[in-house]
């Protein structure tokens, strides 16, 4: 066992209060250099053995069994998969950027570094959904699609849902070119948000979920910006500092037994 460097774990008071889920987003060790491998949760970058140790440590801190974690192959799309059973043999589920389950022995996982981890809990069924939403997924309405899959597959009602829009890049640091601004203007012509050279992805996703019937006081938005704070891996910050890639943080969500 290697010596693990302490790293922060972020969580939602609203989800915590529900008492129904184990959940969290892993952070990056404070003071680590930009190419820090410690607490990286991705197997596609850095050292896989190191990542395995950190994944286990993170899962343990959340009270989740490592073997219950399932991850999709994220492609910045809007497909959402239903996880019907535990996948020891198939920890990777195929291409998708959203997962939904009503199984208590499955922990949904996604990897992020600036993109938004969106946690959905239907308190009544109960059922859960976890989404990876970058700007492309946001434009494609993946948050609404995940909610729709929960409605179709789990009889979820939006008014019973609690949502956490987790730590991710803030409007302060998400500067975009005119072609990206145009995509948002076309996709959301009447949602009350002015789209300029900075896009507030968290607010856009909040608006999407409000329009689908999730009550405003049941949506919590993390104030943290992954670019501004040393406590997060940030793809954009790493690129601005001359790196091609950096580590990934993990969002985990599982129903409590
Ligand atoms: Zn920022």
Flag whether pLDDT at 93 surpasses 80: no
CA of 227 to the centre of ligand 1 (A): 5
Q: How far is the CA of 110 from the centre of ligand 1 (A)?
A: 22
Smallest CA-to-CA distance from 162 within 113, 108, 197, 118 is with 118
CA 255 to ligand 1 center in whole angstroms? 31
* CA of 12 relative to ligand 1 center, distance in Å: 20
State the distance from the centre of ligand 1 to the C-alpha of 159, rounded, in angstroms: 31
Give the range among 31-40, 152-161, 167-176, 211-220 with minimum mean pLDDT.
31-40
In the block, tokens 């974690």 appear at 69
Q: How far is the CA of 239 from the centre of ligand 1 (A)?
A: 15
Token pair for residue 179?
Answer: 């072609």
Amino acid 191: pLDDT: 75
Beta bridge partners of 225: 168
Q: Give me ligand 1 centre to Cα 149, in Å.
A: 32
Domains by residue range for the chain, with CATH? 22-255 (3.60.140.10)
Where do the H-state alpha helices sit in the chain? 13-18, 48-62, 135-139, 142-154, 178-187, 201-211, 235-240
Q: How large is the average pLDDT for residues 20-46?
A: 93
Higher pLDDT pick, 86 / 180: 180
The answer on pLDDT for 95 being more than 70 is yes
Q: Which residues contact 44 (CB under 8 A, 6 or more apart)?
A: none
Distance from Cα 198 to the centre of ligand 1, integer Å: 11
| Of 59-63, 68-72, 161-165, 214-218, minimum mean pLDDT range | 68-72
pLDDT in tens, 198-239: 999 999 999 999 999 999 999 999 999 999 999 999 999 999
Question: Is the link from the previous residue into 126 a cis peptide, with omega within 30 of 0?
Answer: yes
User: 126 CA distance to ligand 1 centroid (A)?
Assistant: 34
CA of 230 to the centre of ligand 1 (A): 11
Whether 51 contacts 94, CB under 8 Å: no
pTM above 0.85, yes or no: yes
């Amino acid at each position: 066992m290697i010596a693990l460097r302490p790293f922060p774990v972020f969580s939602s008071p609203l989800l915590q209060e529900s008492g129904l889920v184990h959940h969290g987003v892993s952070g990056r060790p404070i003071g680590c250099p930009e190419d820090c491998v410690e607490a990286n949760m991705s197997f596609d970058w850095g050292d896989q053995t190191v990542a395995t140790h950190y994944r286990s440590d993170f899962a343990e801190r959340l009270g989740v069994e490592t073997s219950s974690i399932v991850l999709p192959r994220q492609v910045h799309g809007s497909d959402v998969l239903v996880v019907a059973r535990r996948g020891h043999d198939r920890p990777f589920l195929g291409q998708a950027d959203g997962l939904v389950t009503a199984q208590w022995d499955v922990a949904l996982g996604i990897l992020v570094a600036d993109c938004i981890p969106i946690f959905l809990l239907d308190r009544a069924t109960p059922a859960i959904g976890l989404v990876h939403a970058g700007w492309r997924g946001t434009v494609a309405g993946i948050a609404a699609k995940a909610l729709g899959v929960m409605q179709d597959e789990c009889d979820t009602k939006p008014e019973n849902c609690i949502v956490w829009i987790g730590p991710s890049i803030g409007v302060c640091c998400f500067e975009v070119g005119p072609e990206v601004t145009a995509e948002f203007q076309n996709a959301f012509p009447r949602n009350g948000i002015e789209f300029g050279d900075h896009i507030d992805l968290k607010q856009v996703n909040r608006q999407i979920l409000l329009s689908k019937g999730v009550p405003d006081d049941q949506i919590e938005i993390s104030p943290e910006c992954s670019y501004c704070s040393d406590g997060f891996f940030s793809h954009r910050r790493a690129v601005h500092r001359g790196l091609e890639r950096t580590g990934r943080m993990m969002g985990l969500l599982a129903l409590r037994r």
